[in-house]
A and B are shown apart, each in its own frame.
Chain A
Amino acid sequence: MADIRNNFVGIKSPNPFWLASAPPTDKAYNVVRAFKAGWGGVVWKTLGEEGPPVVNVNGPRYGAIWGADRRLLGLNNIELITDRDLQVNLREIKQVKKDWPDRAIVVSLMVPCVEEAWKAILPVVEETGADGIELNFGCPHGMSERGMGAAVGQVPEYIEMVVRWCKQNTRMPVITKLTPNITDVRKPARAAHAGGTDAVSLINTINSITGVDLDSFAPQPTIDGKGSHGGYCGPAVKPIAMNMVAEIARDPETSGLPISGIGGITTWRDAAEFMALGAGNVQVCTAAMTYGFKIVQEMIAGLENWMDEKGHATLDDIIGRATPNVTDWQYLNLNYVAKARIDQDACIKCGRCHIACEDTSHQAITSMVDGVRHFEVIEAECVGCNLCVNVCPVDNCITMEPLAAGVMDQRTGKPVSPIYANWTTHPNNPMAKVAAE
Chain B
Amino acid sequence: MPEGQFKEGIVGGRLAADQYADNFSDLHPPLDHHEALVESDRCYFCYDAPCMNACPTSIDIPLFIRQISTGNPIGSAKTIFDQNILGGMCARVCPTETLCEEVCVREVAEGKPVQIGRLQRYATDVAMSENKQFYPRATPTGKTVAVVGAGPAGLAAAHRLARHGHDVTILEARPKAGGLNEYGIAAYKSVDNFAQAEVDYVTAIGGIDIQNGKTLGRDYQLSDLIRNYDAVFLGMGLGGINALRADGEDADGVTNAVEFIAELRQASDLSSLPVGRRVVVIGGGMTAIDAAVQSKLLGAEEVTICYRRGQEHMNASEFEQDLAAANGVTIRHWLQPRRVIAEGGKVSAIELEYTALSGDRLAGTGETLTLVADQVFKAIGQSFVPAALNGSGASIELEAGRIKVDAEGRTSLAKVWAGGDCILGGDDLTVSAVAQGRDAAESIHRSLTQG
Using known A-B contacts A355-B47, A373-B50, determine if residue A70 contacts B37 with beta carbons closer than 8 Å.
Answer: yes
For B107, the closest partner residue in chain A by CB is A348
Q: In the complex, are the beta carbons of B47 and A350 less than 8 A apart?
A: yes
- The answer for the CA separation of A367 and B47 in the assembled complex, in Å, is 9
Q: C-beta contact mask, B71-84 vs A, less than 8 Å → 1, else 0?
A: 00000000000000
Of B38-46, B89-97, B260-268, B401-409, the one contacting chain A is B38-46
Q: Which of A68, A70, A351 meets B46, CB within 8 Å?
A: A351
Q: Would you call A348 and B37 a contact (CB within 8 A)?
A: no
B72 to chain A, nearest CB (A): 12
B16 on the A face (CB < 8 A): no
**Interface status of A393 (Cβ within 8 A of chain B):** yes
Asked if A120 CB lies within 8 Å of chain B CBs, one says: no
Q: How many residues of B contact A (CB 8 A)?
A: 15
B50 to A349, Cβ gap below 8 A? yes
Q: Is the CB of A68 within 8 A of B108?
A: no
B48 within 8 A of A: yes
Contact of B47 among A69, A354, A393 (CB under 8 A): A354
Q: Could you tell me if A349 and B108 are in contact, using CB atoms closer than 8 angstroms?
A: yes
Q: Specify which of A352, A367, A394 is in contact with B109 (CB 8 Å cutoff).
A: A394
Contacts of A373 in B (CB 8 A): 48, 50
Report B207 CB to chain A, min CB distance, Å. Answer: 37
Q: Does residue B105 face the partner (Cβ distance < 8 Å to A)?
A: yes
Give chain B nearest CB distance to A74 CB in angstroms: 17
Chain B residues 277-299 with CB under 8 Å of chain A are: none
Per-position contact with A for B8-49: 1 when CB-CB < 8 Å, else 0? 000000000000000000000000000001100110111111
How near does chain B come to A113, taking the closest CB pair, in angstroms? 45
Q: Which residues of B contact A69 (CB under 8 A)?
A: 38, 41-42
Among residues 333 to 384 in chain A, which have CB atoms less than 8 Å away from a CB atom of chain B?
Answer: 348-352, 354-355, 367, 373
Q: Is the CB of A352 within 8 A of B46?
A: yes
Which of A70, A349, A367 is B105 in contact with, Cβ under 8 Å?
Answer: A349
Distance between B418 CB and nearest chain A CB, rounded to angstroms: 31
Contacts of B47 in A (CB 8 A): 350-352, 354-355, 367
Smallest Cβ-Cβ distance to A214: which chain B residue? B71
* Interfacial chain A residues near B41, Cβ < 8 Å: 68-70
A348:B109 contact, CB within 8 angstroms:
yes
- The residues of A that contact B108 with a CB separation of less than 8 Å are 348-349
> In the assembly, what is the distance between CA of A258 and CA of B320, in Å?
65
A367→B48 contact, CB < 8 A: yes
List residues 293-310 of chain A with CB under 8 A from any CB of chain B: none
By beta carbon, the residue of chain B nearest A392 is B44
In the bound assembly, the distance between CA atoms of A393 and B105 in angstroms comes to: 11
Binding site for A on B (CB under 8 A): 37-38, 41-42, 44-50, 105-106, 108-109
Q: What are 19 pairs between A and B in contact, CB < 8 Å?
A: A68-B41, A70-B38, A348-B106, A349-B46, A349-B50, A349-B108, A350-B44, A350-B46, A350-B105, A351-B46, A351-B49, A352-B44, A352-B45, A352-B47, A355-B47, A355-B48, A367-B47, A373-B50, A393-B44
Q: A69-B41, A373-B48, A373-B50 are in contact. List 16 more A-B contacts (CB 8 A).
A: A68-B41, A68-B42, A69-B38, A69-B42, A70-B41, A348-B105, A348-B108, A349-B50, A349-B108, A350-B46, A351-B47, A351-B49, A352-B46, A355-B47, A367-B47, A367-B48
Q: Which 7 interchain pairs have the tightest Cβ spacing? A: A351-B47, A355-B47, A348-B109, A68-B41, A350-B46, A348-B105, A350-B44
